[in-house]
Structure 1
Amino acid sequence: MRIQYNKLPTDEIFAAAATGMQDAAGAAARRGKLRRIVQGVYTRDLTTSLDVLVRTRLFEVVAAVRPGAVISDRSAVLGGKPTADNLLFLVHDRTPDVTLPGGIVLRCRRGPGPLPSDLALPDGLHMSGQARAALENMVGSRSRGGRTSRTLSRSELEAWLDRLVSREGDDWARDLRDQVREIAPTLGLEREADDLDALLDALLGTRTVTAASPELAARQRGIPYDAARVAVFDQLFTQLAMTAPPPALASSGGRRENVLPFVEAYFSNFIEGTEFTFEEAAAIVYEGTEPENRPADAHDIRGTYEITADSTEMRRTPATGDDLIHLLERRHAILMTGRPEKRPGELKQRANQAGSTLFVAPRLVRGTLKAGFERCAQLDDPFARSAFMMFLVSEVHPFDDGNGRVARIMMNAELVAAGLARIVIPTVYRTNYLMALRGLTRNGNTGSYVAMLSFAQRYAAQLDCSTLATAQAHLVRTNAFADPTDADAHGIRLVLPATLEASAED
């Protein structure tokens, strides 16, 4: 009997058994009109590597292999992604492991099907909701064959819930507890629900339990921190500690740095949007000029300069986490004197963000700063400490406003205290600066961040800041004042002063 290929499902990925067309699908695969992914599951895609197809269309493949499955346990916490060793945990009536092309293993256990609070996915799949995932991961499990265990360890579970409570707030935790109590009987996990209730109470600060994670331990000591941020700090610390720092650039001192504190203050404000011409800013700082209709902006320039020009102040560095917070508050109070609505010298009380980046929650600011400082203090090299300090303050964003300026002051204080050249971020270099920060925050790219700061330090070390006129001439010749957008469009870059001098000699 002739097999009718046109009666096969039109879906790009499908299970032949679901339509009773196993023979037709098998024949089509043998003739090169379909490809088999695993037994009984086929694709019409004849070109994409099966490894890539599975990775990019995983849920469709899972739905065909284990229809109606619930992505559960550890995999639900991972948002449906396989573990590092390629396991995906499911709830389904059929329990044998299935290995997909590329090595992803579907590991199933029996259990209740989808609940109303679970997340519905395309093609009939579901994923455990947060309440169900929390309960499922209260159940202990062992690894099989040395591979990742089905459920989180107690420490991992505490860290996960700590991140959620930090991000979503106490009301979220109370709602989660109500959901847990509602679904526990259906899952047969009433005892686990009692244990989870105690853990949520500990996260809310209403009960003390034995903590398995540093996150919960810190929360119970009254200094909770942003664990995700601290993980990035750990990554930066490791790279800075293991990588040879750039050659130390000693401060030239003396006459060549006469107006460098002004140059630092000028650019530190300009890249934050407080824009004056070089001459206008000099008049504000040196002549006390008050520009019409811009008194707060003038105070920003003067406040920054008051700190950068104070050699004693710029040699002060923190010895403890509490010292760090005190220094930040005092310097911020000076910086933002002209903006009382920004609460000078007071840590933020409301969450803040830049674009899609949400900074550390207000109640986690002190703990995160202290946790970051513990790592910074272990770095021996002054440049490494300065790079870490700037990122720490910038990433926490502890104040309502002025965070970038105070972060750069803290950075340069580490350098000045060690007798090294400061770091200056000219206007034209703003995009390089922001992209390097963003790359470290989002992708852990420490190399670009360190290289960006190293170049900015070399630049500042070579500037002749003997007088305002000399400094301005150097800044013009090196493209420092160029608008970064226009500069990018026309291929204009920041040029090291020494490069220009060498060209002039040639």
Structure 2
Amino acid sequence: MFKKMPPFFSSTTETSKHISKEVDAGRVRKIGPNLYTSKVDDDVSMLVRQNWAMILGIILPGCIVSHRTAFESRISPGGKIYVTGGYLRTIPLPGVTFVQLKGPGRLDSDMPFVSAYMSSRARMLLENLTPSRVRGEESKNVDIEEIERKLVDILNAEKEDGINRLRDQAREISDALGYNREFEKLDKIIGALLGTRQAALVNPVAKAQQLGVPYDADALMKAEALRAALAQLVYEPMPTKATGSAFYNIGFFDAYFSNYIEGTQFEVDEAKDIIDTGLVPLSRPSDGHDIIGTYRVVSSLDDMRRTPRSAEEFLELLRSRHSEIMTGRPDKHPGQFKEEVNYAGATRFVDPALVKGTLLQGFGLYTALENPFARALLIMFLVAEVHPFDDGNGRTARAMMNAELVATEQTRIIVPSVFRNEYVSSLKRITNHQQPESFIKVMSFAQKFVHSIDFRGYETAKYQMAKCNAFEDPADDKRLHIFEGER
């Protein structure tokens, strides 16, 4: 019977003597009132924190995980797990304190959770709107700002029908819980978010939703991480050498490599012939138009000298450049913001309803920077992260970036074929980990590479870039180099 002890268990009249012997022998240890573990070598605090759900079912079977624990699905900052049961009780264990609050019993809508239950989403929201008068101690509830933000997330994900169903569920259970006042609070917040009621909201994201310009706070958080890193740097100016014919040659290579990154691949001379003749291959008309459309934008001195002076002008520039780049793909709705969510692998970009608000909020991060290189990287990442269009987002983002540099007579940034993986990986590090350092380093190196090339002649530029491995396949074991002349 006792050959294999479970990880956590309690004693009974029948087992207490045997468990005492096991404790004395060092094969079992006591970690709380009538609570034991067979894991005798692990750090006990870490052990309890990692297995709190299993332990909860042993020490408070049938309780309901509630309040902030149901909201956050984790141990609170104060090291507590909040549950609801038939009476008040506090059980301190190493690493975690279990706090049982006296409250309403289980409802049919509550969900099974190990040997306990979890408050339904509607109940959890009502619980967190109950009074919490403890001063100087951790509250059993999350702040109202967090509740508002949660409701915004639900509205964005499940739309109006989804949040209305949630409100109906909360209304149905409020009588049984005795939470009628709490439902009134919830009803006001949801009404304010939907624009059907007046209420003073606290959370900035909720306020924006109420004003009709909702935005994606997570996307802005990533852009802010980049802005903060860019604001700390000291920049060495890198004036452009691409004037006259060199401007148009560098514009060609900008268009060529920008399309290569997105999978539109031609031999470089073939792409140059498409630009020079305006004739697209019969077998690949859309790809040919992509090259021409991108080139028209990045080789237009008038257009590339335009930078946004206001948030609305930013949106206008973004749409107009996208429209020109994607003019050969009417099915991609050139110049129109997306109406469906888009993805890149497992990455889900900003919801269509949040595109405009996120770009408008992000423009404030852009204007907070002064250096052209810093502004260029911020605006490029913002557009790429929001992904406001059905397609052509990367090309449009890089055109916006280089306009910042051309307008201030700085060397533009080109990402050659061989450098694609470094570029994409550095973007992912911001998106997934809010780590912008790699992106700044990659883009700085790309700018130095461009600065090292003589673009006054097409053949000369092509030769020098080839010497630097620029045209190599990113899957091959080749690295991009700065051109340092013939050796």
Shorter-chain-normalised TM-score: which range?
over 0.9
Name the counterpart of 1:125.
116
What pairs with 1:7-406 in structure 2 (closer than 5 Å)? 7=2, 10-17=5-12, 21-78=15-72, 80-93=73-86, 95-101=88-94, 103-121=95-113, 123-142=114-133, 145-147=136-138, 149-241=139-231, 243-254=232-243, 257-406=247-396
Distance 1:321 1:116, change over 3 A: farther
**Paired residues of 1:166 and 1:226 also in contact (CA < 8 A):** no
What do residues 339-380 of structure 1 show as CA deviations (whole Å, max 9, x unaligned)? 111111111111212222221111111111101111211112
Name the counterpart of 2:464.
474
Q: Which range is displaced more, 28-37 or 90-99? A: 90-99
Residue identity over aligned pairs, in percent, reads: 37
Local SS of the residue matching 1:497: coil
Name the counterpart of 1:436.
426
> 2: CA distance between counterparts of 1:22 and 1:204?
59
How far residue 451 of structure 1 moved from its aligned partner, in angstroms, is 1.7
Q: Which stretches of structure 1, 4 residues or more, deviate above 4 A after TM superposition? A: 255-258
What do residues 313-352 of structure 1 show as CA deviations (whole Å, max 9, x unaligned)? 1121111211111111111110111011111111111121
Q: Which range is displaced more, 178-187 or 31-40? A: 31-40
Q: Which amino acid aligns with 2:397?
A: A
Q: Which amino acid aligns with 1:54?
A: V
The counterpart of 2:483, out of the listed 486, 494, 497, is 497
What do residues 156-188 of structure 1 show as CA deviations (whole Å, max 9, x unaligned)? 211121122112211110110111011112221
**Paired residues of 2:189 and 2:201 also in contact (CA < 8 A):** no
Q: Which amino acid aligns with 1:47?
A: D
What do residues 26-78 of structure 1 show as CA deviations (whole Å, max 9, x unaligned)? 43123111233333222222333333333433322333333333222222222
How far residue 452 of structure 1 moved from its aligned partner, in angstroms, is 2.0
What do residues 61-110 of structure 1 show as CA deviations (whole Å, max 9, x unaligned)? 333333333222222222x1123343332223464433443x33333312
**Paired residues of 2:274 and 2:288 also in contact (CA < 8 A):** yes
> 1: CA distance between counterparts of 2:117 and 2:389?
41
> 2: CA distance between counterparts of 1:104 and 1:417?
58
What do residues 380-409 of structure 1 show as CA deviations (whole Å, max 9, x unaligned)? 222221111111111111111111111111
**Paired residues of 1:139 and 1:192 also in contact (CA < 8 A):** yes
Distance 1:247 1:82, change over 3 A: farther
Q: Which amino acid aligns with 2:435?
A: N
**Paired residues of 2:194 and 2:210 also in contact (CA < 8 A):** no
> 1: CA distance between counterparts of 2:93 and 2:238?
55
> 1: CA distance between counterparts of 2:358 and 2:481?
37
TM-score, reference length from structure 2: 0.93
> 2: CA distance between counterparts of 1:449 and 1:65?
49
Local SS of the residue matching 1:139: coil
> 2: CA distance between counterparts of 1:239 and 1:118?
45
Q: Which amino acid aligns with 2:104?
A: P
**Paired residues of 1:245 and 1:383 also in contact (CA < 8 A):** no
Distance 1:42 1:467, change over 3 A: farther
Local SS of the residue matching 1:157: helix
What do residues 426-471 of structure 1 show as CA deviations (whole Å, max 9, x unaligned)? 2222222222212111211121222222222222222222222222
Q: Which amino acid aligns with 1:496?
A: I
How far residue 273 of structure 1 moved from its aligned partner, in angstroms, is 1.1
> 2: CA distance between counterparts of 1:224 and 1:395?
16
How far residue 257 of structure 1 moved from its aligned partner, in angstroms, is 4.8
Local SS of the residue matching 1:89: strand
> 1: CA distance between counterparts of 2:417 and 2:210?
44
Distance 1:332 1:256, change over 3 A: closer
**Paired residues of 1:334 and 1:344 also in contact (CA < 8 A):** yes
Distance 1:438 1:97, change over 3 A: farther
> 2: CA distance between counterparts of 1:105 and 1:480?
59
Local SS of the residue matching 1:90: strand
> 1: CA distance between counterparts of 2:405 and 2:93?
54
> 2: CA distance between counterparts of 1:114 and 1:440?
43
**Paired residues of 1:335 and 1:402 also in contact (CA < 8 A):** yes
Q: Which amino acid aligns with 2:236?
A: P
Distance 1:419 1:93, change over 3 A: farther
Local SS of the residue matching 2:301: coil
Distance 1:94 1:28, change over 3 A: farther
Contiguous gaps of at least 5 residues in structure 1: 1-5
Q: Which amino acid aligns with 1:253?
A: A
> 2: CA distance between counterparts of 1:239 and 1:95?
48
TM-score, reference length from structure 1: 0.90
Distance 1:108 1:478, change over 3 A: farther
Local SS of the residue matching 1:168: helix
Q: Considering only aligned residues, what root-mean-square deviation do their CA atoms show, in Å? A: 2.2
Aligned length: 486
**Paired residues of 1:226 and 1:368 also in contact (CA < 8 A):** yes
Q: Which range is displaced more, 467-476 or 358-367? A: 467-476
Local SS of the residue matching 2:317: helix
> 2: CA distance between counterparts of 1:125 and 1:14?
15
Distance 1:116 1:442, change over 3 A: farther
Q: Which range is displaced more, 66-75 or 411-420? A: 66-75
Contiguous gaps of at least 5 residues in structure 2: none
How far residue 196 of structure 1 moved from its aligned partner, in angstroms, is 0.9
Local SS of the residue matching 2:98: strand
Local SS of the residue matching 1:169: helix
